[in-house]
Structure 1
């Protein structure tokens, strides 16, 4: 175990508390559970998992919820991040973040020193150079989305409202030194479905074009560009290049059925791939290119380079995510998908693949810089990987500069960590 790893590797996801029939469960929903491993001094000190104690979770567990219940209360299940000495569990589309302590116990809802009014997002972008946390938030009853900038004091310093029709779902966005890139995917709120009790009242809206908005970070008006429809899933990173904005991201084929089609899976119309948009602000057009067409998701980068040019990026592929669901036509998916982590070199246009055995599903790769690192990829890649022989999960640690080599370490966890969403390294 590298001795300079001193902190916690955390990852969250939906964990269905009290669901007796899995067919009644939607893959995006379920109460958030944070999984964590504490590393220090060349050793793994503990593994633990904890539900985020929203009012609903407290009630299900027979506990008393302390204090006033916040609006749109939910056990945030999508991301967990460090922020100014705190650990925040995040959800999009309404709920406030929940603050956790170092033992993963829920402390309280977090509203950035009483300055956050309304919804937040799961996919924040922290600009380490500017010491700013950025978010793009949406809400079903809004006629706009909000770019929120939280300054070095930990307070909301500026909120810019960007008008958009039909209350779209905006899962992620991108940030550069100059701009906020807002992705208006034609997945819109369905009021009738909501009134009928739909778990996810959002539909793919063929009547709306797909647009990309470029908004100055300092505020103002967004400039919109129409693009061919895809489901914009997750941002790897973005940066300015002359008169252009470069955005690297994972996408899924259109249409994307958030409420579930086929047998409800996220890849019912096709598996995700890694793409790039080059937004030419001078010419007024967007050029789309495919970086890598192998099935992959959960793109990450050395986070010190958020909003700045990167050379390397990391993605994951877990066969279980793509083979578990039939397509919308009822056709079983291709069985050739494998389990791997991928390192992309955008300068050379090459990639390295670290493969895992059948049944060894790999989760999101998180880059952790080595102490004293000078190179962008001088550090470690950490991921939860299922061990089918043990029927449990390992925390696998790779040397990012020896990506295809043997893992530096494996921490054998006592149970299986289910496939989930996003996480972070929280340095001590």
Structure 2
């Protein structure tokens, strides 16, 4: 029997409300895993929809693409072992220009495994950029390229402007052994700063600086006490800030017998403190193209309260030997909002605004267990300690700041709020706007059954005030089983436009606005 998958690519010409109502969406299978149900469930079709319907007015200054990615398993995973972080990546994009919504597209990232399952020829490409995996966590523009990125030693994938896969990338031969899902772009230089980790690099994380030409120009290896899942970091004008928090590598969940778990325990202790030699890593990266795609045995990490939580501060032009470590209370940070330097007569400090989880991976598979808050950590460089302060105790995630303020003092931030759900995971219910000067938070909901994802801020011009622009993101409507791109006024948080899609966009991770480059 031919078990290859042939996804239906739905190409739509300019369509009417009648066409919209008649668009069909492939049914999803109900399982006991909440990340395979509702709007977390994968879609089964690749769609191209042209000249989309709009309610309201799309601002004329928006000329570019809103891109977002997320996990979308191409075949049905084992519900008992599937984790949301591990699904094959699917990119979604929407082109805005001259007040119109020209197109919407969604495409799987064609890793070797995804291409095989689609019955397609894999184009191949450089293998030293990391393990082969359909990148599922973030999508960015850099140096005229569109890149789908992920963490944990996997390689970036380059896509065309219309989201077709070009192939794996090693940043023109300058990237080795994987990248981060969360690079930070310096708003002055345009360079990407990143901190990357990999289970095969043991206790070494790598800080890189990538130029606007798409090539890594600086690399620093940083040795920790042990391997950890360093999902994100913070950048200021003067410093790189590392989050060494109590999440430990644990390979025992991948073993199915007592003997296997004992062996996995030994392997874990070895792997979390010792990096594989480069020649072993190169061979493993090449072999990953022949394997079965991403890991299928759940997340290889556990909550490790026995470890001291700490943040490391390294001068941007310094080295690993210059890092100073500061203890914080046990917690985990998937995503900081922003960070900046403060100079005062009493001494220098660093302000870190973060979404703080009390714990992760302690039970179940939930990313958002309802115990997270927006906190401010002030690193007192003179006193050698961190002051921790609660800014907002609403359960929230996916914080975003005006990208012009990355590493600089900011007033506003945006995040997704969550409420406890009946399926074992929290449900997104509103977008939050934090005013950190006024110490207020505004919540914007979209009506019953409408669930927002991460929203990003796009300024109306280069030199306008911090919240002069729009905040945009996908909103899923359970009643229609479709999604919209919703644009909110950054100052009032009122809806200025809604772009209607003929399909749904599953809840995913991160996206960005990529403006059209002018020659």
Per the TM superposition, whether the score is higher than 0.5 is: yes
Tell me, what secondary structure is at the counterpart of 2:115? helix
CA deviation after TM superposition for structure 1 residue 308, in Å: 0.8
Alignment partner for residue 177 of structure 2, among 118, 127, 135? Answer: 118
Larger gyration radius, structure 1 or structure 2: 2
1:154 aligns with 2:254: no
State the match for 1:330 in structure 2. Answer: none
CA deviation after TM superposition for structure 1 residue 153, in Å: 3.5
Contact 2:112 2:124 in 1 (8 A): no
Q: Which segment is superposed worse, 66-75 or 191-200?
A: 191-200
CA deviation after TM superposition for structure 1 residue 8, in Å: 0.8
The equivalences for 1:4-403 within 5 A come to: 4-19=61-76, 22-68=79-125, 70=127, 71-142=130-201, 143-194=203-254, 198-220=297-319, 221-242=322-343, 243-254=348-359, 256-257=360-361, 261-262=363-364, 264-268=365-369, 270-319=370-419, 322-323=420-421, 325-326=423-424, 339-371=429-461, 373-403=463-493
Q: For the residues of structure 1 that align with 2:125 and 2:235, how far apart are their CA atoms?
A: 34
CA deviation after TM superposition for structure 1 residue 130, in Å: 2.5
- Gap regions ≥5 residues in structure 2: 1-57, 261-295
CA deviation after TM superposition for structure 1 residue 396, in Å: 0.3
CA deviation after TM superposition for structure 1 residue 193, in Å: 4.0
Q: CA RMSD in A?
A: 1.8
CA deviation after TM superposition for structure 1 residue 290, in Å: 1.1
Contact 2:126 2:170 in 1 (8 A): no
In proportion to residue count, which structure has more strand? 1
- String of CA shifts for 1:233-274, please: whole Å, max 9, x gaps: 2011100011100011112112x10xx723x22234x33221
Q: For the residues of structure 2 that align with 1:338 and 1:238, how far apart are their CA atoms?
A: 25
CA deviation after TM superposition for structure 1 residue 370, in Å: 0.7
State the match for 2:292 in structure 1. Answer: none
Contact 1:162 1:222 in 2 (8 A): no
Flag the structure with more relative contact order, 1 or 2, with Cα contacts below 8 A and sequence separation at least 6. Answer: 2
In the superposition, the TM-score normalised over structure 1's length comes to 0.92
Tell me, what secondary structure is at the counterpart of 1:233? coil
Contact 1:16 1:25 in 2 (8 A): no
Q: For the residues of structure 2 that align with 1:103 and 1:318, how far apart are their CA atoms?
A: 32
Contact 2:253 2:297 in 1 (8 A): yes
Q: Which segment is superposed worse, 338-347 or 229-238?
A: 338-347
CA deviation after TM superposition for structure 1 residue 191, in Å: 4.0
CA deviation after TM superposition for structure 1 residue 410, in Å: 0.5
Tell me, what secondary structure is at the counterpart of 1:361? strand
Tell me, what secondary structure is at the counterpart of 2:86? coil
Tell me, what secondary structure is at the counterpart of 1:229? coil
CA deviation after TM superposition for structure 1 residue 194, in Å: 5.0
CA deviation after TM superposition for structure 1 residue 23, in Å: 4.1
In proportion to residue count, which structure has more helix? 2
CA deviation after TM superposition for structure 1 residue 151, in Å: 2.8
Cα distance change of structure 1 residues 347 and 191 upon mapping to structure 2, 3 Å threshold: same
Q: For the residues of structure 2 that align with 1:165 and 1:140, how far apart are their CA atoms?
A: 14
Contact 2:126 2:169 in 1 (8 A): no
CA deviation after TM superposition for structure 1 residue 149, in Å: 1.2
Contact 2:416 2:428 in 1 (8 A): no
Contact 1:317 1:363 in 2 (8 A): no
- String of CA shifts for 1:151-198, please: whole Å, max 9, x gaps: 344321211111112211100100001100000011111244456673
Contact 1:44 1:411 in 2 (8 A): yes
- String of CA shifts for 1:41-66, please: whole Å, max 9, x gaps: 11111111000110010011111111
Q: For the residues of structure 1 that align with 2:428 and 2:254, how far apart are their CA atoms?
A: 37
Q: For the residues of structure 2 that align with 1:46 and 1:271, how far apart are their CA atoms?
A: 38
